[in-house]
Each structure stands twice: as C-alpha cells, then as structure tokens.
C-alpha cells in the first residue's frame, strides 16, 4: 500500500476476488538523513512520505485491512541510490525506478511480506502476468512493463497485478465509489520514493557541481558554461540556459575526461541518430531468445522494430538500421514481442555504422 490510488484499488479488487488482504507500506527514503536539507513538504506541512502513509492508513481502515510498515532506507541507499549516483558520475542517465523494482519491491519487500504470512504480493502496477508471461497493461498510456524489465521470472512467481487489465479512469471511478481519500490524488512523479523536487538542488547534496565548457559540436566553438555534466541527458533541449542564443539546441554528447558538454544547433541533426547499441545486464524473460522483436529505449517512446545479436557473454547488440534519435547510455532497453515484455538490459554503448559514437 503506497498511499496512491492504484494500490488502493488493487486492494479492493483482491477483496472482491476473495483474497484475505493485508497492507505493507515501505519507507525507502529519509529526507533528514545523508546531508539533504529542506526536503519537500506537502500543503499540510509534512513530508510526502508521511502523507502517503497517512493516506494508506486511511484506505486500509476503510477497507478493514491491517497495515504494516517497514523501513528499507538503508537497502534503498545501498542498492538503488548508490547505483543512481555512480551512473551519474559516469556521465550516464540511470533509471532508479527499474532498480527499485528489482532490488526492493520484488525482493526485500516480497521477503517481508512472506514473514507476515503472505502467499502472494500484489502491487498497483499497470501490467499483467498470464501463464508466467509478463504482458503489457491494458491501458497503453499507463503500461509499466518498462519499469519491470529487470525483475526475474522467479521474482514474478508469486505476484499479482490486480489492475493490469483496467484503465486509469476506471481505477479512479472505483476509488470514488468507495469514497477513498486517494481517489483524486495525483500520480506520483520524480525519482522513485524520493519524489518531486528541484533535481539540480537535490543532487548538490550528494555530487558537487563541476562546471565546464559547452562546445558546439559542429564548429568546435565554446559557446557557454554548463553547471555539471550530471545535470544533462542526451537529447535534452529544455532548461539548458546556455549562451543566450535563441537557436534551438540539443545535448548530443559528453566528454567526462575534459568535462565538456556537446550541443548541436537546429531542429534535426545527425548527431542524435544511432543505428545500434550494446546492451548489458540483460534480464531475459522469454522462453527462447528471439532475433526479431521491438524495443523501447525510454518509457514514453513508441516501440521500435529491432533485431538482436546475442553475444557469448550474455550481452546483446540491438540493431535498428532505420535510425533512432537520442538513445542514451544508462537507460533501459526493453524488448517486446507484441503484448509480451521479454525483459531487457541497460544501454552501455551507442553506435553508428558499427562504431561507438566518440562523443558519448
């Protein structure tokens, strides 16, 4: 029970199906620890996690569900947030939500649930499990299989996704029918369990800014200063505040050794286009390793037709000769065969014509 509308309605669906439901709330972040100051607060003046717990408690009370609470603050730091910081230091763009699912929600949370006597764990993810296969959620706009791509087959063995065959509007309608406090609560955004905040100010608590040159990749001219490479991602065009130019510009690369941020001017440019990438840390959920499928290189992206070259070390070269814009090291590459999510891995290198792009 996260304190959101999705897990609230998941509990209702399970009760209707005849399950005995107990709630387990996770606290994974301490805003007063590890040097963070002036963390976010809600309109009521308390931190968002405490408000989420209060909302989860109110829902459980209404549904006559016992609610347990468990801290995974240290585990989240060790397995998710440290990974997040290390990736940023290496100039990559990580997705901590994916690692949170792998190490916290479907591992440590599941173990805690079993201690409470649970036979299954259930979450409010928009995804489906059918005959052991992970399928997209019915709601195309909310499908969350991308974020489940690093969860193993074994971890899925005792998992239920009660709202995976529902659309968001119907979920909210059920919550309103039950007069739940979460019925109109907005969806959470930002980093998993850390929430919405000024990202640049937040990161300064953990990684000092190292300003450096911004270079126009076409001309080699220095056109401004960046505030630290960790604050930018490939393909970014908003919030750059570089050089005072009104021309459209895109982040196309980083040079960690020289602390240079490369940008390109103009709407369409070749520097953002690649035709293959090397993917490591592959978690494959399919029965047989297929060659032709589709993939997503970021959450909101449409599926891209790809072919997979499986390497002896377990890594995969993902090929998309039609070209794709802004494929980014550190992000997840997730494989699909129609409705089935086949798992995925982490983008290690981005290539064009068989060569690693020198500016990434």
Q: How confident is the model at residue 266 (pLDDT cuts 50, 70, 90)?
A: confident
For the segment 174-187, the average pLDDT, to the nearest whole number, is: 94
Question: Strand runs (DSSP E) across the chain, as ranges?
Answer: 23-27, 67-71, 121-122, 127-130, 133-136, 159-160, 212-216, 222-226, 249-255, 260-265, 273-284, 292-296, 304-310, 316-325, 332-337, 340-352, 355-356
How many Å apart are CA 133 and CA 145, to the nearest integer? Answer: 11
Distances (CA, A) of 105 to 94, 169, 193, 337: 18, 25, 11, 25
User: What whole-number distance in Å separates Cα of residue 155 and Cα of residue 248?
Assistant: 45
Per-residue pLDDT at 37 = 47
What percent of the chain has a predicted confidence (pLDDT) above 70? 90
**Confidence at residue 250, expressed as pLDDT on a 0 to 100 scale:** 92
CA 287 to chain CA centroid, nearest Å: 25
Give the Cα separation of 39 and 86 in Å (integer).
Answer: 22
Confidence band, pLDDT 50/70/90 cuts, at residue 265: confident
10 burial class (0-12, 13-18, 19+ CB within 10 angstroms)?
buried
The set of residues, in sequence order, having a beta carbon less than 8 Å from that of 93 and lying 6+ positions away, is 87, 233, 234, 328, 329, 330, 331
In degrees and rounded to multiples of 5, residue 359 shows phi and psi of: -95, 10
Q: Is 192 a catalytic residue?
A: yes
Domains of the chain: 5-199 (3.40.50.620), 209-265 (2.30.30.280), 272-356 (2.40.30.10)
113-126: average pLDDT: 97
Indicate if 100 belongs to the active site.
yes
pLDDT band at 189 (very low <50, low <70, confident <90, very high): low
What is the per-residue pLDDT for 205? 83
Would you state the pLDDT for residue 45? 52
Any residues with CB less than 8 A from the CB of 37 and at least 6 apart, and which? 205
pLDDT of residue 193: 54
| Interval 28-86: pLDDT, tens | 887 655 444 445 555 555 566 788 999 999 999 999 999 999 999 999 999 999 999 99
Please answer whether residues 277 and 347 qualify as being in contact, where contact means their C-beta atoms are separated by less than 8 angstroms.
Answer: yes
192, 277, 333, 341: the active-site residue: 192
Q: What are the pLDDT digits (tens) for 209-247?
A: 899 999 999 999 999 999 999 999 999 988 787 766 667
Average pLDDT in the 286-304 region? 95
Q: Among residues 100, 277, 293, 341, which one is catalytic?
A: 100
- What residues form DSSP beta bridges with 254? 261
> Cβ contacts of residue 67 below 8 Å, gap of 6+?
1, 22, 23, 24, 25, 56, 57, 60
Considering the chain, what is the average pLDDT of its residues? 91
86 — phi, psi (to 5°)?
Answer: -60, -40
What pTM was computed for the model? 0.91
Please report the pLDDT score of residue 240 as a whole number: 85
């Amino acid at each position: 029970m996260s304190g959101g509308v999705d897990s609230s309605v998941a509990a209702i669906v399970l009760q209707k199906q005849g399950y005995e439901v107990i709630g387990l709330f996770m606290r994974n972040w301490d805003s007063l620890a590890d040097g963070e100051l002036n963390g976010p607060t809600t309109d009521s003046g308390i931190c968002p996690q405490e408000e989420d717990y209060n909302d989860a408690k109110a829902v459980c009370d209404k549904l006559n569900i016992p609610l347990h609470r468990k801290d995974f603050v240290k585990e989240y730091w060790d397995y998710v947030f440290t990974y997040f910081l290390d990736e940023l230091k290496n100039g990559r763009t990580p997705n901590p939500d994916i690692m949170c699912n792998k190490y916290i929600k479907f591992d440590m949370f599941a173990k805690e649930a079993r201690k409470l006597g649970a036979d299954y764990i259930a979450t409010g993810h928009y995804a489906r499990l059918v005959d052991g296969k992970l399928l997209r959620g019915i709601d195309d706009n909310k499908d969350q299989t991308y974020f489940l791509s690093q969860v193993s087959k074994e971890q899925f063995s005792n998992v239920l996704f009660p709202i995976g065959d529902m659309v968001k509007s119907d979920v909210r309608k059920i919550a309103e029918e039950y007069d739940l406090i979460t019925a109109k609560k907005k969806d959470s955004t930002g980093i998993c369990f850390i929430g919405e905040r000024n990202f640049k100010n937040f990161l300064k608590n953990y990684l000092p800014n190292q300003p450096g040159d911004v270079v126009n990749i076409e001309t080699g001219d220095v056109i401004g200063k960046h505030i630290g490479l960790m604050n930018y991602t490939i393909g970014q065009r908003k919030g750059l505040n570089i050089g005072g130019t009104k021309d459209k510009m895109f982040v196309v690369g980083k040079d960690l050794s020289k602390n240079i941020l490369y940008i390109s001017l103009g709407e369409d440019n070749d520097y953002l286009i690649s035709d293959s990438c090397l993917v490591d840390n592959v978690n494959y959920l399919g029965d047989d390793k297929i060659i032709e499928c589709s993939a997503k290189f970021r959450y909101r992206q449409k599926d891209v037709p790809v072919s997979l070259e499986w390497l002896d070390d377990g890594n995969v070269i993902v090929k998309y000769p039609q070209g794709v814009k802004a494929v980014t090291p550190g992000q997840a590459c997730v494989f699909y065969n129609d409705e089935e999510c086949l798992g995925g891995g982490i983008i290690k290198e981005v290539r064009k014509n068989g060569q690693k792009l020198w500016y990434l």
